[in-house]
Amino acid sequence: MSSSRFPARFGAARPPASGWPLSRLFLRLGIGGRLVALHILILCVLTLLLVVIEVGRLSTQARAELGQRALTASRLVAQFPAVIEGASRGEQSPTLNTFVNILRGEVGADYIVVGERHGIRLAHPSPDRLGKAMEGGDNDGPFAGQEIISVARGSLGLAVRGKVPVLDGEEIVGVVSTGFLMPQVQALARQALLALLPWFVLALAFGSLGAVLIARQLRRDILGLEPEQIATLVQEHQAVLSALGEGVLALGPNNEITLASAQAQLALGLPDLPDRPLLAQVWPAAAQLSAERRHNLELPLGKISVLVNTEPLPGGGKVLTFRERGAALRLAEELTQVRSLVDVLRAQGHEYANHLHVLSGLLHLGHVEEAASLLRGQIEADTAFRELTRELQVPRVAALLFGQRERAQELGLLFGVEAQSNLSPRWERHAGALVTILGNLIQNAFEALSSVGGGEVILSIGEDPDGLQLEVQDSGPGVASVLQNSLFQRGVSSKGEGRGHGLANVRARVEELGGSLRVFRRGESTVFQVNLPPLESA
């Protein structure tokens, strides 16, 4: 479960501002940053959207009003006897055209057109268009006896038109069309918009001022961070918590859990509890601790013991970290293995120093032959062992074996390396793992032989195309049958409480390299065998 389930608290210093030029300008003015810019941008977009909507509404309203004016004007014109008579005759008359244009000026329309029963113009603002067919394609309604308002394009351009039929008694003898061109519609909408514009500007100004004030307060509350900086901090925070091997809890003044790492949630079962549970609900022993600083305090957690550290927080809360006591002990065990290797090498140095002292004493007493014999024996033994390890081309492994030989001599045991053992320098990158594996297996064999008063340990190392094979063979009594199936589990040992980590570490290192580990009897000997795949596939 992700640690984002609990709200985080931040105490980071304010990062430098970056990003939009508008946000940098606001920062220079001391009124905020990107957050303020975002608020004002949203406000401007909303205001612009309202303006567009209002322009559309005003345009629609202007078209409707002009359409009604055009329809009313057409009705009046269609009732004049001169118009009825001219339409009935279907003949052009300068008198009729002049009369209609005078009416157009009084009405304020862009044009009034009178057409006869076939749609031929009898009156028009442009004399050169008289006698031609009316344009727009919207005469079907008037010739059917209907009064209509339409938006159509005529010879003078796109216009809002009101059309009515001209009646001579019951007979339709013509049509009257009064039009207002669209620029006039747009002018009316623009005029209405200009009247409303100060109110839009005032609303934008007050909205921007409110956004600035709210954003400044919000920035103070969030330590001057921008939203993307907060997101980055949260991601880094979660990554850090996920990478920690320890459980981490942040507690409020009342011991409520405000933050928990994934390890802590798993250990305490927090996924099954509501947000911000009290520590006493999930870990009563830790809830009894005060907010003072503590280090490596041992507390029970379920069936295990953990080491707890606490650090007080401003405001009365605290941060509590914990890790399994056994894990800490295992880490100490691994460090002990390294220290044992150092001790073995130091013992080897002391052993050589002792040989030198003996040689010096023999020479001082004049026992030259005895000194020479001792020196030849030591050289022969070293040469023989060095010859056995000549093909082991990983220096740390060779040094380990020399040290273990000296350790075996101190314990009164025999330690040898199988002839033809070999190890290529390619394994140098895994030297640490090999030292851990061989060191623990050889030490385990020494302890098994020490318990029965002596014996021999033989190491065999072989590399071939199938990988690397390691065998540590000892003449001890072998593994007890009750431990046969659980020997490599952590904490399992025949040597008492607090042991059982060496072979578990061997298994862990072998599995890391993709290999296998087994133990079996070969005649009267116990064999621990490790098989590692070739480096190319490891």
pLDDT digits (tens, 9 = 90+) for 190-225: 766 677 678 777 877 777 777 777 777 777 776 666
Q: What is the pLDDT of residue 357?
A: 72
Q: What is the pLDDT of residue 154?
A: 79
Helix (H, G, I), strand (E, B) or coil at 447: helix
Look at 267-276, 398-407, 422-431, 439-448 and tell me which has the smallest mean pLDDT: 267-276
Q: What is the pLDDT of residue 16?
A: 44
Handedness of CA 447, 452, 453, 457 (dihedral sign): negative
Residue 221 and residue 213 in contact, taking contact as beta carbons nearer than 8 Å: no
pLDDT tens-digit map of 334-371:
565 566 566 566 656 666 666 677 777 778 878 778 77
Query: Is the confidence at residue 529, as pLDDT, over 80?
Result: yes
Look at 112-116, 242-246, 397-401 and tell me which has the smallest mean pLDDT: 242-246
Confidence of residue 485 (pLDDT cuts 50, 70, 90): low
Handedness of CA 139, 142, 146, 149 (dihedral sign): positive
Q: What is the pLDDT of residue 13?
A: 40
Confidence of residue 27 (pLDDT cuts 50, 70, 90): very low
DSSP string, 371-392: HHHHHHHHHHHHHHHHHHTTTB
Give Cα separations from 144 to 112, 203, 226 (angstroms): 20, 51, 68
Query: Is the confidence at residue 18, as pLDDT, over 50?
Result: no
Look at 50-54, 145-149, 254-258, 527-531 and tell me which has the smallest mean pLDDT: 50-54
Query: Is the confidence at residue 426, as pLDDT, over 80?
Result: yes
d(CA 374, CA 169): 152
| 494 vs 526, more confident | 526
Determine whether 257 is exposed, middle or buried from the number of CB atoms within 10 Å of its CB (0-12, 13-18, 19+): buried
Across 12-16, 276-280, 457-461, the highest mean pLDDT is recorded for 457-461
Q: What percentage of the chain carries pLDDT values higher than 70?
A: 74
Q: What is the pLDDT of residue 443?
A: 86
Query: Is the confidence at residue 428, as pLDDT, over 70?
Result: yes
Q: What is the pLDDT of residue 165?
A: 93
Contacts of 455 (CB under 8 A, 6+ apart): 413, 414, 449, 474, 475, 476
Quote the mean pLDDT of the chain: 77
| For range 257-282, the mean pLDDT | 76
Confidence of residue 177 (pLDDT cuts 50, 70, 90): very high
Q: Of the candidates 405, 394, 281, which has an alpha carbon nearest to the alpha carbon of residue 352?
A: 405
Query: Is the confidence at residue 135, as pLDDT, over 90?
Result: no
Q: What is the pLDDT of residue 174?
A: 92
Query: Is the confidence at residue 5, as pLDDT, over 60?
Result: no
Whole-prediction pTM value? 0.39
CA torsion, ordered 288, 290, 292, 295, to nearest 10 deg: 0
Query: Is the confidence at residue 162, as pLDDT, over 80?
Result: yes
| 267 vs 129, more confident | 129
Look at 172-176, 187-191, 503-507 and tell me which has the smallest mean pLDDT: 187-191
Query: Is the confidence at residue 20, as pLDDT, over 60?
Result: no
Cβ-based neighbour number of residue 298 at 10 Å? 9
Residue 522 pairs in a beta bridge with 525
| 99 vs 333, more confident | 99
Q: What is the pLDDT of residue 399?
A: 79
Tokens at residue 235, please?
């991601």
